[in-house]
Structures are given as structure tokens and as C-alpha cells.
């Protein structure tokens, strides 16, 4: 696969601002384990190879267990995720797929039992950010693994 254009070079200021926004999420009320699960799941749903590759490596660096990473696609059937993680994954899926009639009260209430208002707001911004990155990476065919060294993902030693 060959990247179409380098959107970082073409729109450096917009890239910098979006990266700044995404980096600010590291200071959010959402723990790193859930951030890793959310970014991986949204990237899987969207079919973003660059981002799936990146977020598997990030999660590995953060100490995530390999089996849990394999189970993210089957999280509903898996016994490896806590109720809070399941709620985050459900929220990620509904916001990534956006049903025709919006987010149901049932899903909102399910998620609301696991997250404070602040946490739910921060989680929503996390989902917004990864969906934005997915769209840029898919549109311009970002090559999986091509930014490993720049982002320190070579430390995952998963190549």
C-alpha cells in the first residue's frame, strides 16, 4: 500500500492542533486501559489498519495482556472485561456507528452507571478523536507501522 498524500505535511497547523487536542486526552478522567480499548475498538470498526496497528502496539507498551487485545472484537462474549470496560466499549461502538435515531436512552443509562458525567464527557471526546484520526488515515491510506519510530511504537517490539 502506498500513502496517497502526507496530510501532516500538507496541513501542518491543523495536524498540530488536532494532535494537541488528542494529547490533551491523556490528562482526561479516563484511565489509560480504557483509552487503549476505545481507540483500538473504534479503529477496528472503521477498518483503519494504521490505527489498529498503532493502538495494539500502544496497549502492549502500556502493559495490556495479549489475549485481551485479541478479545476486543468479541468483547460482548468475552469474560475478560470489567463492567466499566464493557460500558466504554458499548459507548465507543454506538458513537462510532451512530444509529439512525441516535443514542438510545438504554445505552446511555447503561454507560452512565459506570461513568461520572465528567468521565462520560471525556470518554466521548476520546471517541471523537479516534474517529477523526481513523478518517484521515483511511482517506490517505496511511501505511501501518510507518510511524512506529516517530511515535516510539518500536518499543513494543511487535514487528
Report the C-alpha gap between 92 and 41 in whole angstroms: 7
Domain 7-154 has CATH 3.40.50.720: no
Q: What is the pLDDT of residue 130?
A: 98
In the chain the first and final C-alpha atoms are separated, in Å, by 17
Q: Is the pLDDT of residue 74 over 90?
A: yes
Whether 48 and 134 have beta carbons less than 8 Å apart is answered as: yes
Report the C-alpha gap between 26 and 125 in whole angstroms: 11
Q: What is the pLDDT of residue 5?
A: 92
All structural domains of the chain with their residue ranges: 7-154
The candidate with the shortest Cα–Cα distance to 34, out of 70, 66, 72, is: 72
pLDDT in tens, 81-105: 999 999 999 999 999 999 999 999 9
Residue 72 carries which DSSP code? G
The candidate with the shortest Cα–Cα distance to 48, out of 113, 117, 131, is: 131
pLDDT in tens, 121-137: 999 999 999 999 999 99
pLDDT in tens, 137-159: 999 999 898 888 888 888 998 86
Where helices occur in the chain by DSSP H, the ranges are 7-10, 12-24, 32-46, 49-61, 66-71, 83-97, 105-112, 117-139, 148-151
Report the C-alpha gap between 150 and 154 in whole angstroms: 9
Q: What is the pLDDT of residue 58?
A: 96
pLDDT in tens, 54-73: 999 999 999 999 999 999 99
Amino acid at each position: 500500500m502506498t500513502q496517497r498524500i502526507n496530510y501532516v505535511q500538507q496541513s501542518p497547523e491543523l495536524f498540530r492542533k488536532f494532535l494537541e487536542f488528542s494529547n490533551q486526552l491523556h490528562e482526561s478522567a479516563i484511565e489509560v486501559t480504557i483509552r487503549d480499548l476505545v481507540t483500538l475498538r473504534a479503529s477496528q470498526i472503521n477498518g483503519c489498519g494504521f490505527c489498529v496497528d498503532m493502538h495494539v502496539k500502544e496497549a502492549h507498551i502500556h502493559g495490556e495482556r495479549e489475549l485481551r487485545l485479541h478479545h476486543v472484537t468479541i468483547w460482548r462474549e468475552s469474560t475478560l472485561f470489567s463492567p466499566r470496560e464493557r460500558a466504554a466499549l458499548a459507548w465507543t461502538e454506538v458513537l462510532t456507528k451512530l444509529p439512525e435515531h441516535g443514542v438510545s436512552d438504554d445505552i446511555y443509562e447503561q454507560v452512565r452507571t459506570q461513568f461520572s458525567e465528567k468521565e462520560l464527557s471525556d470518554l466521548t471526546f476520546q471517541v471523537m478523536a479516534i474517529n477523526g484520526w481513523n478518517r484521515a488515515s483511511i482517506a490517505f491510506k496511511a501505511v501501518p507501522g510507518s510511524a512506529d519510530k516517530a511515535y516510539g511504537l518500536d518499543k513494543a517490539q511487535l514487528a
